[in-house]
Amino acid sequence: MNIGEIARRAGVSRSTVSYVLSGKRTVSEATRQRIQAVIDELDYRPNASARALKEGRTRTLGLVIPPASQRLTDMQLGFVASVVEAAARHDLDVLLSPSGGDHDRSFERIVSGRRVDGVVLMEIRLEDDRVTRLTRTGLPFVTIGRTAEAHGMSWVDIDYAGLIARCVHHLADLGHRHVALVNRSAELVAAGYGPSHRALAGFQAAVAERGLSGVDVCCGDDTASGEACVEQLLVTHPAVTAVATINEAALPGMQRALTSAGLSVPADFSVTGVAAQHWAEDFRPPLTAADVPMRDMGAEAVALLLEIIAAPESVPRHRLYSPPISLRSSTGPVRTH
């Protein structure tokens, strides 16, 4: 059933039916009642577009993702999937838009084109021009991650500083005295990528508190980089007996490097960190790690955004996730010689 059939049965034009459904123009009461009678008789339910027209909304959320030229990590893809899934439960569509590099025009169309009711912004830098731009336009938005000064915005994030610190304390409790942090890429660190800087701060604080020897290294988000990174680490810092990492995409390569060096996990070398659950469980042996609750975070981001859309003057809210360290099999007591 469509608007055309309703118009035919009510003896009016399609545009008149549209006016009744949207409320955009005044229609005589007699005509409105005639059209409503047909709608009731046919048990017609306006589709999402018609409802959106009546509400003055697009019923579409924007999800701003990293540049399309970059391969998304599994964690990033997990956040995309969780936002899309959460939006679908509210009968909302999601418009994906890359940002950064050559994609600034795409982001600008999202911001100024009135194509979405609000935006979820991923991969946040400590100083992020996109956040500044969204704040100035007044378009509702929520971030997955947070800037250095995030008091006036709504966000969800992972407590990378606290979680990496807990990983270091766990290693120290096992007797490890020489530990390393395998961070994200040097490019992300240089760009002020929030998780990298907070993980490093947590690592340095815990190392200092426990009186350990600590080294931090940057690593690309792929298997080859993980292998090269750990190979180099073992050469330049042979005393290191354990690593903590937030670079889950590098884990297979890290594992390969340790195997090639003849090091058994955890008998000779311990590995821990922050990762999506499936990455942790695919590691051999399974990785002791804080499992990132991507699905919960995506749903929370959408819920916060819908609150802002419904009440633009509401007080900004946020949620910092600090999941427990799941003790699996990749960490053990330091080997004494």
- Please spell the DSSP secondary structure of 221-267, one letter per residue: SSHHHHHHHHHHHHHH-TT--EEEES-GGGHHHHHHHHHHTTPPTTT
**Do 157 and 145 meet the contact criterion of CB atoms below 8 Å apart?**
yes
- Say how many Å lie between the first and final Cα of the chain, rounded: 79
Instruction: Using the predicted structure, report yes or no on whether residue 317 has a pLDDT greater than 80.
Output: yes
Let me know: does 106 contact 98? Beta carbons within 8 Å: yes
Rounded alpha-carbon distances, angstroms, from residue 305 to 6, 59, 60, 169: 36, 12, 12, 36
Q: pLDDT per residue over 64-76, tens digit each?
A: 987 755 677 888 8
Average pLDDT value for residue range 105-123: 88
Is 292 a residue whose pLDDT tops 70?
yes
Query: What per-residue confidence (pLDDT) applies to 103?
Result: 62
Please state the pTM of the whole predicted model.
Answer: 0.81
Q: Model confidence at 231, in pLDDT bands (50, 70, 90)?
A: very high
Distance CA 192, CA 128 (A): 9
pLDDT (0 to 100) of residue 24: 60
- Comparing 28-37, 42-51, 317-326, the range with the smallest average pLDDT is 42-51
State the Cα–Cα distance between residues 182 and 219, nearest whole angstrom.
7
Question: What confidence score (pLDDT) does residue 69 get?
Answer: 53
Token pair for 168: 């270091």
pLDDT one-digit tens code per residue, 45-64: 655 444 544 555 788 999 99
Distance CA 308, CA 314 (A): 6
Whose tokens are 């549209």? That residue is 18
pLDDT at residue 75 in the model: 86
Residue 116: pLDDT band with limits 50, 70, 90: very high
- 328: helix, strand or coil: coil
Angle at 121 between CA 116 and CA 127, to 5 degrees: 130
Tens digits of per-residue pLDDT, 167-182?
A: 999 999 999 999 999 9
Cα dihedral across residues 187, 144, 293, 175: positive or negative: positive
Segment 226-253 shows an average pLDDT of 97
Per-residue model confidence (pLDDT) at position 86: 94
Q: What is the pLDDT of residues 130-145, one digit of tens each?
A: 999 999 999 999 999 9
Edge to edge, what strands does the sheet with 178-182 contain?
A: 213-217, 178-182, 242-245, 270-275, 288-291, 325-326
pLDDT score at 18 = 75
Mean pLDDT of 100-110: 76
